[in-house]
Chains A and B, each alone.
Chain A
Amino acid sequence: MTTPTIAVVGAGPAGLAASIAAVDAGCAVVLVDECSLPGGQIYRQADPELNVPAVGTAQETERKHALLRRFAAVRDRIDYRPNTTAHSLFAGPELQIADEQDSERLNPDAVIVATGVSERCVPFPGWTLPGVLYAGGAQALLKAHGVTPGKRVAIAGVGVLPLAVGAQLSRAGAHVVVVALFHPLRRMVKDPMGLWAGRRVVLEGLQYTRWLRSAGVPILEGWAPVRVEGASTAKAIVLAPVDRDGHHLVERSRRFEVDAIGLNFGFTANSELVRMAGGKVFYDSTIGGWLPCRDRLGKTSLDRIYVAGDGAGLRGAFVAEAEGYMVGTAVAGELTGRSPTAMHRLEKVRSTNERFQKALRKTLELPPGVWDWANSDTTVCRCECVTRGRIDEAKSEGHCSLDALKRNTRVGMGWCGGRTCLQAAAAYIHGGGSASTLQPMRARPVARPVKLGALANPRRDQ
């Protein structure tokens, strides 16, 4: 009997855990990842030459190294492809990948998509100015390069990421002038059982709050950005309190002079590979937008295509890792005919942390008023320079689906593949309400930019 092969896309906690589980269960694994080092975003590693100090809490750093050690132990049994883009997925399954030089078609027995999420922003005047980063991006600079995005930094957004990033930047020596949280953190207290389930993470959050308080960083709760000022780079951010609908109370606004800003207004799941292959999706704006329909063991609506981790709905690193092991084990079990073990323990870890993530969701919700932050001159699609005014005009002409909007305005057609503006564009055509009935743009082959030279240079199909 030949050894079944599983292709795993993404080397974050879910993809690494799935690969470890699958190879341990006797399958051959091809692990494809865009980065040069394993870890994904949450466990992003610095180049060893750099010797960058850890930026997270001691507990998070320990979790990261524990997983990376487990991966290192099986690394030589895995066909690991760093610096490689998985750009297309078709039923079969057929996975197409490319690096800088050449490309390859893979026809594995199963594909596990563990592509995670990208950061989401709500467009507002000045958000495209250089010096304005995503909060997770600012964190990535610190984790992987030991660099802070500026000397005077403001952080704003939803959820708890702004708190963590603000604390980490402050501790790394940046002057964090303000952390503005859209939702007061006490919103989570409405779900005490959820908080208890996530007490380990809550303690880490409290630690970040202490770092900020000891550095004298003001934390504004119930505040949001109004505009960024500057000519060629960001010089100042104006923040204001928001009402229940998400509209600014501008008369109470405050201006902060800065040279860098970190923003995070939630996440967009990287679901384009599953959508391209024809997988069914549903919409949930607080945990990633369009998400693949799947069962508890990652099975999508497509034969032999599975998902694991945040790419199947934002639930954090604990869930992603547990789910990665579960999906990897289950898929391997199905292919080898051996019955999987240890699933009960993993399910317990996953469900406990999912319970906490449900409490966290209350701090990620965006009321419809936030989509009024952009005025008609505000750029929405950064790649194709499409403004809010242009989108409203197309909508008034009757282009009310995302595909029609794309054809008429080029929104979502650029380099990022629509990952940056897709949810904003959906909110604008849907009048700011829930976009649950709206279909996403068609995900066409070559989801991410790859070189034509690489596509023209296929490796011998195995």
Chain B
Amino acid sequence: MGAHTENLRATGKRLMSTTSSFSFEDQTIEFVPGQSVGAALVAASVRWHRSAEDGTPRGLTCAIGVCWECRCVIDDRPNVRACMARARAGMVVRRQKGLE
């Protein structure tokens, strides 16, 4: 258990020291290279990723590409699943509103 916690702390430290980031709405989201956009958003406590056609808020749910609830607009491309898209520095991600 000790080694596990140490490893996680190390991962956490890398997260703190990373310079890689993308933007979501008006926030800067830091990530560790290799993480998905969705994982980085969740780690930054951003959980509302899109608004459904009826206006209700939705966010990453299945995390494995099945449900499409986390689809965002990434670099002007709509319907990109945040859980499947690899985070890249400088990406512009925004909350998708209904059918875009």
Give the interface of A toward B (CB within 8 A).
34-36, 41, 44, 46-54, 118-119, 128-134, 136-138, 140-141, 144-147, 149-151, 171-173, 232-234, 259-260, 379, 382-385, 414-416, 419-420, 449
Contact = CB atoms under 8 A, between A and B. Distances in A.
Residue of A119, A144, A145, A150 most packed against chain B (CB within 10 A): A145
Given A133-B60, A382-B69, 13 more contacts: A41-B64, A47-B86, A48-B34, A128-B56, A141-B42, A145-B40, A145-B43, A147-B35, A173-B5, A382-B61, A414-B68, A416-B68, A420-B62
Contacts of B97: none
Contact of B45 (A146, A259, A420): A259
Majority SS of interface residues in chain A? Answer: loop
B49 A146 contact: no
B66 A171 contact: no
Interface string B36-76: 10111011010111001110111111111111110100000
A140 B11 contact: no
Given A141-B42, A146-B11, A173-B8, A130 B32 contact: no
A131 B35 contact: no
Contacts of B4: 53-54, 171
Interface of B: 1, 3-5, 7-8, 10-11, 32-36, 38-40, 42-43, 45, 47-49, 52-54, 56-69, 71, 79, 86
B57 A232 contact: yes
B27 to A, nearest CB: 15
A149 B66 contact: no
Q: Which 10 A-B pairs give the minimum distances between C-beta atoms?
A: A130-B59, A47-B34, A137-B63, A145-B39, A53-B7, A415-B68, A50-B34, A49-B34, A130-B47, A385-B54
B43 A147 contact: yes
B8 to A, nearest CB: 6
A53 B54 CA distance: 40
9 contacts: A41-B64, A44-B64, A130-B57, A140-B64, A144-B36, A150-B42, A151-B45, A419-B66, A449-B79
Contacts of B7: 51, 53
A53 B68 contact: no
B60 A128 contact: no
B67 A130 contact: no
B32 A50 contact: yes
A233 B8 contact: no
B48 A233 contact: yes
Contacts of A129: 57, 59
Given A145-B39, A173-B8, A383-B68, A137 B34 contact: no
Contacts of A48: 34
B33 A49 contact: yes
Contacts of B5: 171, 173
A48 B32 CA distance: 12
A144 B43 CA distance: 13
A130 B52 CA distance: 11
